[in-house]
Homo-oligomer: A and B are copies of this chain.
Amino acid sequence: MPRISATKQAILSAALELGALHGISGTTMDEVAERAGVAKGSVYYNFASKDQLFGELLTTGVGTLSDTLREARLATDGFGRIEGMVNAMLTLIADNRALAKLMAAEIFRTDRVWQESMFTLRREALSEFAAALGPLVPPGTSTDARLLMASSVFGATLMGGLEWLLFSPDKPAADVADAVLFTFSGKLAAPA
């Protein structure tokens, strides 16, 4: 990863805080400069536009998610992969609450200039779940069906994680992972 200047980092952090609070449309470059404690010219020196600034923030975020999921997937085998990936994703959400909220609000928008790169990266993150599901689904399951299952596992983890952050932020990450993973255990379909 290229080295990032302290100024650029301060601008990205300020944009993240403001974007999570007021939305991207509700955030101006003036406010970002003020919050970051830098001159407005300095913001534009680093980012040509607000779109470029938030685009970089979001694509970096989805990239980190992919990397985290890949690492968790390669660390183990079988259904343990899904367990590890759910745990890793929830920890990442907890450690990056503002970014997680911003990403959740952006992930299905189709009116953004960064839409294509977000979709590509989202597909990359999904394909990590799809790869982990490969040995777990019946032989002959189509790629489409596997991607839908991957979306389900991803969506369950994302929505569980956001519910946690918004409504019970003091719960330990492991309890949240247990609740999400319980829905995949089969015990709902066949209660003891």
Contact = CB atoms under 8 A, between A and B. Distances in A.
Nearest to A119: B166
A157 B155 contact: yes
A156 B190 CA distance: 19
A183 B135 CA distance: 14
Q: Closest 10 A-B residue pairs measured CB to CB?
A: A186-B186, A155-B159, A25-B25, A148-B179, A152-B156, A151-B163, A23-B111, A155-B155, A156-B156, A104-B108
B133 A147 contact: no
Interface of A: 20-23, 25-26, 79, 82, 101, 104-112, 126, 133, 135-138, 144-145, 147-149, 151-160, 162-164, 166-168, 171, 175-176, 178-180, 182-192
A157 B152 contact: yes
Given A184-B184, A192-B138, A23 B109 contact: yes
Contacts of A148: 160, 163-164, 168, 176, 179-180
Contacts of A158: 155, 159
Contacts of A184: 183-184, 186, 188-189
B101 A105 contact: no
